[in-house]
């Protein structure tokens, strides 16, 4: 336990005194793998409070998650998004919206929603807000709960200068829980 604390303390100090690179530890079958993420100021990803907190069985177009991207100094291009479903997966369909228009249909698999095959361009000094609307299964019990979240830098495919960029930020970026409520009889 002390070794883990010492490693994270060293990684923090490395990042603080060398702000161009920070190190993140990824545990796997090998003892440890170290990757470098750039601390980037070209864009910021942030949470937007624009969600529904309740849905009924069979509801469509439920605002389940919203986030924004600020492009600061460079053109940023968003080409992919993967969201984790936390809680019960009662989602049968999902859409990613930009400026109120559907830009991608989601594929649901293994408690994740993946949006691909779209391009959203953010010019320098601009912001965009993206919303995720979902459709809820018809045959679910009242009291089911779920939320959507961006788990880590790999959840977003953002390109700067035609190269994918994985920037450290505040992850996870999670939405509010949506509770399924039954109809009153």
Residue 171: band (very low, low, confident or very high) from pLDDT cuts 50, 70, 90: confident
Domain coordinates of the chain in residue numbers?
2-38, 43-180
Distance CA 165, CA 161 (A): 9
Given a cut of 90, whether residue 140 has pLDDT beyond it is no
Other CB atoms within 10 A of residue 81 CB: 23
Q: Does domain 43-180 have CATH number 3.30.70?
A: no
CB-neighbour burial class of residue 185 (10 A; exposed 0-12, middle 13-18, buried 19+)? exposed
Burial class (CB in 10 A: 0-12, 13-18, 19+), 10: exposed
In this prediction, residue 184 has a pLDDT band, given cuts at 50, 70 and 90, of low
The proportion of the chain whose per-residue pLDDT surpasses 70, expressed as a percent, equals 76
pLDDT (tens digit, 9 = 90+) per residue, 2-55? 444 444 444 444 444 444 444 443 333 433 444 444 555 678 888 888 778 999
pLDDT digit string (tens) for 68-114? 999 988 999 999 999 999 999 999 999 999 999 999 999 999 999 99
pLDDT at residue 170, rounded to an integer: 75
128-138 residue pLDDT tens: 999 999 999 99
pLDDT of 9 reads 45
């Amino acid at each position: 336990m002390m070794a883990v604390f010492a490693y994270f303390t060293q990684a923090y100090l490395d990042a603080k005194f060398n702000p161009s690179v920070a190190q993140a530890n990824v545990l796997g079958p090998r003892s440890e793998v170290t990757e470098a993420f750039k601390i980037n100021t070209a864009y910021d990803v942030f949470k937007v409070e624009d969600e529904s907190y309740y849905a009924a069985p069979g509801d469509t177009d439920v605002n389940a998650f919203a986030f924004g991207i600020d492009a600061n100094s460079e053109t940023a291009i968003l080409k992919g998004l993967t969201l984790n479903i936390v809680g019960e997966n009662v989602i049968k369909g999902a859409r990613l919206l930009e400026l109120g228009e559907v830009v991608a249909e989601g594929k649901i698999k293994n408690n994740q929603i993946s949006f691909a095959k779209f391009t959203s361009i953010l010019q320098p000094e601009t912001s965009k807000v993206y919303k995720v609307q979902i459709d809820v299964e018809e045959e679910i019990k009242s009291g089911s709960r779920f939320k959507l979240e961006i788990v880590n830098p790999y959840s977003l495919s953002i390109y700067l200068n035609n190269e994918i960029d994985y920037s450290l930020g505040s992850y996870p970026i999670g939405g509010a829980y949506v509770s399924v409520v039954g109809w009153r009889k």
